[in-house]
Amino acid sequence: MTDVKYSKDHEWLTLDGEIATIGITSFAQQQLGDVVFVELPAVGKTVVKGDEVAVVESVKAAAEVYTPVSGEVSEVNAALDSAPETVNSDPQGGAWFFKIRLSDTTELDSLMDSAAYDEFAVEEG
C-alpha cells in the first residue's frame, strides 16, 4: 500500500517520485457535508506550503484547501468539476485535488502518518 501522509489542515498526500498527489481526508469531507463545487488551482502555478490553493463548497459553506508542500502544480483533477460529489464518496482515492512537483522534500518530514492523523482528527472532531 502507498504511504499516505497527512497535514493538520486535513489534507492527505501520496508521493510518486517527486510528484505529490493531494486531496482532503475522509474526516474533512465528513465535517464539510455534501460537496457541490470544487475550485482547483491553475496548472503551472508555483505554490508555497500553507498557501490556499483550492476551495471546497458544500451546501452550507465554503472551505479553503491549503497545500501541505511547496512546488509547482503539475496536474489537477478536472473530473471534480462535473462530479464534485466524489469528494464525499471517494475522498482518498478518485477525488484527489491536485499534484505538485516538490521543490523541498524536507517539508514532508513535518507531516503525520496515518496513526498520528487519526489521533489528531479524533481530538478535532
Partner 1 sequence: MAEDKILSKTPLHKLHVAHGGRMVSFAGYSLPVQYQGGIVKEHLHTRNAAGLFDVSHMGQLEVSGENRAAAIERLVPADVNGLAKGQVCYSQFTNGEGGILDDLLISNNGDRLGLVVNAACKDADIKHLKEHLPESCGLHYLQKRALLALQGPKTVQVLKRHCDIDFDQFGFMTRRHAVLFGVEVVLSRSGYTGEDGFEISVDGEKAERLAECLLGEKEVLLAGLGARDSLRLEAGLCLYGQDLDESTTPVEANLEWSVGARRRNSGDFIGADVVLEQLASGTTRKRVGLAPEGRAPLRGGTQLRDSAGVDVGKITSGGFSPTLGSPVAMGYVASTCAAIGTKFFAELRGKTISATVVPMPMVQTQYYRIKN
Q: CB of 7 within 8 A of CB of 68?
A: yes
Among 4, 14, 39, 92, contact with partner 1 (rule: CB under 8 A): 39
118 binds partner 1 (CB under 8 A): no
43 binds partner 1 (CB under 8 A): no
61 binds partner 1 (CB under 8 A): yes
- Compute the CA torsion angle 85, 108, 15, 99 (nearest 10 deg): 50
Q: CB of 35 within 8 A of CB of 58?
A: yes
Residue 110 beta carbon to partner 1: minimum distance, rounded to whole angstroms: 24
Q: Which is nearer to partner 1, 33 or 93 (CB)?
A: 33
Continuous H helices in 1-125: 26-32, 79-82, 86-89, 114-124
Q: CB of 56 within 8 A of CB of 35?
A: yes
Residue 56 beta carbon to partner 1: minimum distance, rounded to whole angstroms: 11
Q: CB of 52 within 8 A of CB of 61?
A: no
37 binds partner 1 (CB under 8 A): yes
Among 4, 15, 19, 36, contact with partner 1 (rule: CB under 8 A): 36
Among 55, 70, 72, 103, contact with partner 1 (rule: CB under 8 A): 55
Residue 51: other Cβ atoms inside 10 A:
15
Can you give the binding site for partner 1, defined by CB under 8 A?
Answer: 33-34, 36-37, 39, 55, 57-62, 81, 84, 88
